[in-house]
Chains A and B, each alone.
Chain A
Amino acid sequence: MHKLKLLLAGTVAALALSGAAAHAARGTDGDLKILFWQAVSTMNPYLSGGTKEVFASSIVIEPLARTDEKGELVPFLAAEIPTIDNGGLAKDLLSLTWKLKPDVKWSDGTPFTAEDVIFTWKYCTAPDGGCAQAAQYEGVKNVEAVDPHTVKITFTEPKPYPYSAFVGGQSPIIQAAQFKDCVGAKAPGCTSANFGPIGTGPFVVKDFKPNDVITFAANANYRDPAKPAFASITLKGGGDAASAARAVLETGEYDYAWNTMVEPEVLQTMLAAGKGRLESAFGTNVERINLNHFNADPSLGDKRSTADAGPHPSLKDPAVRRALSLAIDRDIIVEAGYGAAGKATCNIVPAPAAVASTKNDEWCLKQDIAGANKLLDDAGWVKGADGIRAKDGVKLSYLYSTSTNSVRQATQELVKAMWAEIGVGAELRNASAAVFFGGDPASPDTFQKFYADVEMYTNNFDGTDPEKYLAEWLCDKVPGPANGWQGQNIPRYCNPAYDKLVGELSKTADVEKRNALSKQLNDMLTEEGAHIALVHRGDLSAFAVTLEGVKMNSWDSQLWNLADWYRKK
């Protein structure tokens, strides 16, 4: 604290001498202290893929363009966003031409050119490299330099939405000179490059202690001479979300804590100290309950949850799926577990606004116990002596699994109580996140295997275009032994009409039409009960009251506009 005051005093003195405006000079605002409760393991997002690594590396390395807090593309290393109108995107959707900013320098003083962009593509697509962001470069046939400041990307097939390669925190440009000997299988061996990449961003890595703390200094070669306002950054890692929130909101030791997803009541007491504020931003995360369309009866052994097991004995009934959704009061779940970081939703594509449907909000967002009971009565599901409904010996009693997490377990309890009101029983189970999401084909507890009747977790899509995401519910993406349980159609939903519509979306370039199709697909999933969307989850982070210039962003790294952050005097 004392140190901080001294620094502040020094800063004020320096400012008084220079007579500059509050945030108009580089490095005048001292040290910015950031806390990530999951410590950063490496500064190379191509080798890790974890959100914490993507965010931390975004301090140093930049993509051609980012998505701003409103979900719109803004050029970073590019001079402008290529579109059909300005000729950047070819009419046949087979190539995209980026014009780079002319005078950008790497932090070592060398010029940034098209060669670096090409190298980045080669680096991530090299065989044996295990590049974690390979999906960003999917469908890219070639990347070539038209001139030193123009890059042309050609695609293998028409790309209606071409802004994934070199766009966003997941695919920043790395320096060809630094990484030239680190391609493919040699990538992990380049420890010093992976821990201290040379970048074009507002800061450079000064010291990297893996899984602990990183110190950054302002980049002397940053393209805007007045930025960044901070002279250095200390990014500390480790601990847990609650204590990270406390360090910003209550003790004031840190300026910014990432992902402070803690129960709302706990945060309220911390906010009372008046040292910080919470900000949330909503991206595309949706907490959902997947309904298993295949039979998950344990007596079926290895066949359960596969096509061989046949349809689920009770969840195959659309009335049951609809009733399960109607019985849930989403507002209570939001209030108890998410607070400002959640909104009730019935859509699997909740944002951006242009593709977010409101068609089903009418019936779905409001709890309707009577309506749900009537649906089940009409469908012939009769309550037994134990209060659980049954028909032809099939009971509406479900195994309900999720990952271990206090908010999820509380939500499980709430949903169980709500379902009890319509005569549906639930047995709760949870598995450690590393196992549940681990995807080990030998483990019975992964979400892909889905050895349960219903399961709950969050998923989202990168960027603002949902096409690839909506394609996850295609019939041929159903996980099973044949594909090593790797498909992404976890609920095992299969509808040829849906498949056809996704095919149509992939061929449509017109933005309006794409949005309409996306909404239609989303509505199909909600109406047919592929899953029950529960909560549109936001990102929640804590900021010190003195920190200004922050624009919470869910579409890209939360540190996307770090160069503009400054301290209020």
Chain B
Amino acid sequence: MFTYTLRRLFFAIPTLLIISFVIFALLDLAPNDPTGDLPLTIPPEVREQIRASLGMDQPFFFRYLAWLQQFFINEPLNILERLTGWQFGDGQRLRVLSWATRSPVVDLIVQRLPQTLWVVGLAYLFGILIAIPIGVISAYRQYSIFDQIGTFISMVGYSVPTFFTGVLLIVIFSSYLQWFPSVYDTNLQVTDFSSFVAQMRQMALPVAVLALYNASQIARFVRASMLDNLHQDYVRTARAKGVKEKTVLLVHVLRNSLIPVVTVIALGVPTIFSGAIITEQIFRVNGLGQLLITAVQGADIPLVQTLTFIFAVLIVLFNLIADVLYGILDPRIRYD
């Protein structure tokens, strides 16, 4: 297993380099321009100077190599310096700078990450916790009323887009009932009980929207996987041996059914980091998803490039983790 993991990690390097190049090339070809959002009263000559000051007048490969150096050498060194307090060279390294804010991209990401982890991560966790019992009961009592309702809700949750459910919840709970705020207050510091309650209240709606979406998806997986296993011979054997029904269901069937589900969950983790672009935008949660979408709209290419590349790294990494987990959970699978 260890050598397998090492081999996979080694192969990930060329994969990621190719991905970074493809992203860079695609962004370069896209007909977007960082001066596109500026008022038309700013004359063309000035726009030309702005583009030059952003380094856009340099050749493609030069810009790509500069980004590689900034991202793979300068930024890690900076992080190391900050963590350890050591000093490498004079500390005056060119960092990946966002075009819109003219500040280091990594600082922006560090600032945004906690909100995304809290809101989207919590929604993912809730989604899983809701989905598993629903999936199990739905499968065990296939075609019962519970199964029908569960199927209906998960179909609705899966097929209705978050930009609809999000606005619907705002209209009901913020405008009409006024229970929850519609705008996320990113300045809120949790210091005492009342601020904790305020934090819970402002997280309620976005988490609910995303949890519904996640739960619907995972519940369908759990149900399908449970159904596959319920009709297996080993289940009949267990029952014939007189094992209690609860043990059959929760120990024999559930454990086996969760193997593919764990893979699905692991593969879904990178989406937590990429944030729920639409949901974050609707509720104005200042997470990574919102950062990405504003960067795309404003043609902030260094920021888009860096963010998408980090997502690519996470996807490659979690694919590996899913594969390794599979090997650990399922004794029938061996990589060596």
Contacts and interface: CB of A to CB of B under 8 A. Distances in A.
Given A48-B100, A215-B187, A438-B299, A459 B53 contact: no
Given A41-B298, A191-B102, A239 B37 contact: no
Given A50-B38, A132-B38, A132-B42, A188 B97 contact: yes
B35 A438 contact: yes
A438 B31 contact: yes
Interface string B174-212: 110010011101110000000000000000000000000
A194 B178 contact: no
A251 B42 contact: no
Contacts of A211: 100-101, 108, 286, 290-291, 294
A210 B282 CA distance: 18
A365 interface: no
Interface in B42-91: 42-54
Interface residues of A, number: 65
A485 B36 CA distance: 14
A438 B35 CA distance: 6
B38 A49 contact: yes
A437 B45 contact: no
Nearest to B174: A251
Given A135-B46, A185-B53, A50 B37 contact: yes
Contact of A234 (B50, B174, B187): B187
A130 B102 CA distance: 12
Contacts of B170: 243, 246
A263 interface: no
Contacts of A487: 44
Contacts of A47: 102
Contacts of A461: 41
Contacts of B108: 210-211
A131 interface: yes
Interface in A234-288: 234, 236-240, 243, 246-247, 250-251, 253-254, 273
Interface string A154-178: 0000000000000000000000000
Could you tell me the dominant secondary structure of chain A's interface residues? loop
B32 A243 contact: no
A520 interface: no
A545 B178 CA distance: 19
Contacts of A188: 53, 97, 102
B183 A254 contact: yes
A286 B32 CA distance: 25
A116 interface: no
Contacts of A250: 175
B159 interface: no
Interface string A185-218: 1011001001100000000000101111101000
Pick the most buried of B45, B49, B281: most chain A CB atoms within 10 A of its CB.
B49
B291 A236 contact: no
Contact of B31 (A35, A238, A246, A440): A440
Interface string A452-465: 00000001111000
Contact of B103 (A128, A210, A253, A273): A210
A129 B100 contact: no
Interface of A: 1, 35, 39, 41-42, 44, 47-51, 128-135, 185, 187-188, 191, 194-195, 207, 209-213, 215, 234, 236-240, 243, 246-247, 250-251, 253-254, 273, 433-440, 442-443, 445-446, 459-462, 486-488
Nearest 5 A/B pairs, CB to CB: A130-B53, A438-B33, A438-B36, A443-B31, A486-B44
7 contacts: A210-B100, A211-B291, A212-B290, A234-B187, A438-B31, A460-B40, A486-B44
